[in-house]
Amino acid sequence: MLLTTDEIMLFLMRNKVSKQNIYALICKLNTFTDMKIFTRTAAIHAYLSSEKNAGKTVGFVPTMGALHQGHISLIRASRKENDITVCSLFVNPSQFNDAEDLQKYPRNHDVDLAMLTEENCEVAFLPTVLEVYPPGLETAVNVDLEGLDRRLEGKFRPGHFDGMMEVVHRLLQITIPDKLYMGQKDFQQQLIVDKMIEKLGLSVSLEVCPIIREADGLAMSSRNTRLTQEFRSRAAVINQALTAIAENFDKMDLSACRQEALTTIRHAGLRPEYLEICETESLEALETWKSKGQHVALTAAWAGDIRLIDNVVF
Ligand code: AMP
């Protein structure tokens, strides 16, 4: 008889085994499942090439690990549409502009592998930095992003999008997927990846999946685990402020809406870095309303020393 993760969790928690140890154990128990775990680029590339030659389709979900239900929604979308789903767990140093953020980024491969196993993900890829960036290999990507990378996140996280494009491009070369799955949570990121795919003529289609939220509206993020209890409860204000903008569309002046959202976030004790109402394709900041569906309100705000991002399309 096979027990589900939840059943095993419940049994072990009743017996006072820590959650961490439980996942480590589940991961070990799961080694008899069919998920293939690769750490070497040559090996995963050879495997996926031969599967593709045999007619299988591949969906790819790049992540930095510390998986949550947002990531899992991408895995599920990919599994619905492809024969093989590949999930990479790789904290990419080249996209961090802040050394402390990189060092403190949550890492928990045992839990991640247990979650992927439970989702019946076919392939997990956990490369080292040297596997992704072998010495001597030119991995930087140079494309004209038509200013997309200079706005919003680009202004506050210099080099972030260069590193992000570098890793996504490299991982696409390694995993040769038919479809690439990314979240709307990182709105600017998916626009940039889409532009990169178009400009480089890559043969992969980008599928963008909706934002998965906690019950109070906070967008799920690996960084949420680092919020203090106090800031965790206050952080729901981010989504409330953005949703209020969407609700007031066409009823209130655009810049008044924006100011009100900034004030709401500040009153909750968070520090917004930016909050803009932009056009969904160019990300140019808007001064007046456009037609329904053409706006996205985006923000980055500090909750203590944790930087959170979110957006609402309306
Ligand atoms: P990360 O591990 O943060 O690099 O995220 C990996 C992928 O998961 C990216 O495409 C994200 O946009 C996506 N993602 C992260 N959080 C969420 C969420 N709350 N809902 C949907 N997708 C998400």
pTM above 0.85, yes or no: yes
Q: Is residue 135 part of a domain?
A: yes
**Secondary structure of residue 206 in the 3-state scheme:** strand
Residue 230 lies in a domain: yes
Residue 152 CB less than 6 A away from ligand 1: no
Q: How many domains does the chain have?
A: 2
Residue type, 12: L
Position 271: which residue type?
R
Atom of ligand 1 nearest to the CA of 182: 10
Of the candidates 274, 280, 276, 277, which has an alpha carbon nearest to the alpha carbon of residue 308? Answer: 274
How far, in Å, from the CA of 99 to the mean position of ligand 1? 21
- At 201 the pLDDT is 98
Cβ(221) to ligand 1 under 6 A?
Answer: yes
Judge if 50 and 193 occupy the same domain: yes
Instruction: Say which of 45, 71, 169, 267 is annotated catalytic.
Output: 71
Whether residues 290 and 196 fall in one domain? no
Say if residue 244 is in the same domain as residue 125: no
Rounded to the nearest angstrom, the distance between the alpha carbon of 125 and the centre of ligand 1 is: 17
Is 71 catalytic? The answer is yes
pLDDT at position 12 is 74
68 C-alpha to ligand 1 centroid (Å): 9
One domain, residues 246 and 192: no
**Is the residue at 11 inside a domain?**
no
The whole-number pLDDT of residue 1 equals 47
Domain check: are 202 and 136 in the same one?
A: yes
Give a yes or no: residue 5 inside a domain: no
For residues 166 and 105, state if they share a domain: yes
Closest CA to 276 of 290, 289, 258, 294: 258
Could you identify the atom of ligand 1 that is nearest to the CA of residue 189?
A: 12
The pLDDT tens digits for 273-312 are 999 999 999 999 999 999 999 999 999 999 999 999 999 9
Q: Are residues 168 and 303 in the same domain?
A: no
Closest ligand 1 atom to 186 CA? 12
Query: d(Cα 40, Cα 132) in Å, to the nearest integer?
Result: 9
71/124 same-domain check: yes
Strand partners of residue 278: 285, 296
> Does 164 map to a domain?
yes
Q: Do 39 and 187 fall within a single domain?
A: yes
Q: Do both 57 and 91 map to the same domain? A: yes
Q: What is the pLDDT of residue 120?
A: 96
Element (H, E) at 295: strand 295-303
Residue 241: inside a domain: yes
Residue 272: which CATH number? 3.30.1300.10
**Residue whose structure tokens are 């399309």:** 313
Domain boundary among 209, 230, 254: 209
Q: Which two tokens stand for residue 256?
A: 């008044």
Please check whether residue 20 lies inside any domain of the structure: no
Domain that holds residue 39: 33-209
Which ligand 1 atom sits nearest the alpha carbon of residue 181? 10
Are both 201 and 257 inside the same structural domain? no
Please identify every stretch of the chain with a pLDDT value under 70, giving residue numbers as ranges: 1-10, 19-20, 22-33
Which atom of ligand 1 is the closest one to the Cα of 183?
A: 12
pLDDT at 20: 65
Q: Is 171 in the pocket of ligand 1 (CB under 6 A)?
A: no
Q: State pLDDT tens for residues 220-231.
A: 999 999 999 999
Tell me how far the alpha carbon of residue 85 is from its chain's centroid. Answer: 16
With a 6 Å cutoff on the Cβ, whether 58 touches ligand 1 is no
- Taking only the tens place, the pLDDT of each residue in 227-280 is 999 999 999 999 999 999 999 998 999 999 999 999 999 999 999 999 999 999
Whether residue 68 is found in the same domain as residue 41: yes
**Buried-exposed string 14-37: b where 16+ CB fall within 10 A, e elsewhere:** eeeeeeeebbbebbeebeeeebbe
Domain boundary among 174, 209, 244: 209
- Among 160, 185, 209, which residue terminates a domain? 209
Q: Output the six-digit token pair for 197.
A: 């795919």
Take residue 78 and report the two structure tokens written for it.
């990919």
Measured from the CB, is residue 222 less than 6 Å from ligand 1? yes
Distance from the first to the final alpha carbon of the chain: 48
Q: Is the CB of 182 under 6 A from ligand 1?
A: yes
CA 233, distance to chain mean position in Å, is: 22
Ligand 1 touching residue 183 (CB < 6 A):
yes
Residue to mutate, 60, 63, 68, 71, ligand 1, most ligand atoms under 8 Å from C-beta? 71
Task: Give me ligand 1 centre to Cα 222, in Å.
Answer: 9
Which residue, by CA, sits nearest to atom 13 of ligand 1?
183
Please tell me the distance between residue 257's alpha carbon and the centre of ligand 1 in angstroms: 27
Question: How far apart, in whole angstroms, are the C-alpha atoms of residue 207 and residue 138?
Answer: 27
Give distance in angstroms: CA of 34 to centre of ligand 1: 25
Answer whether residue 1 is part of any domain. no
Domain containing residue 127: CATH number:
3.40.50.620
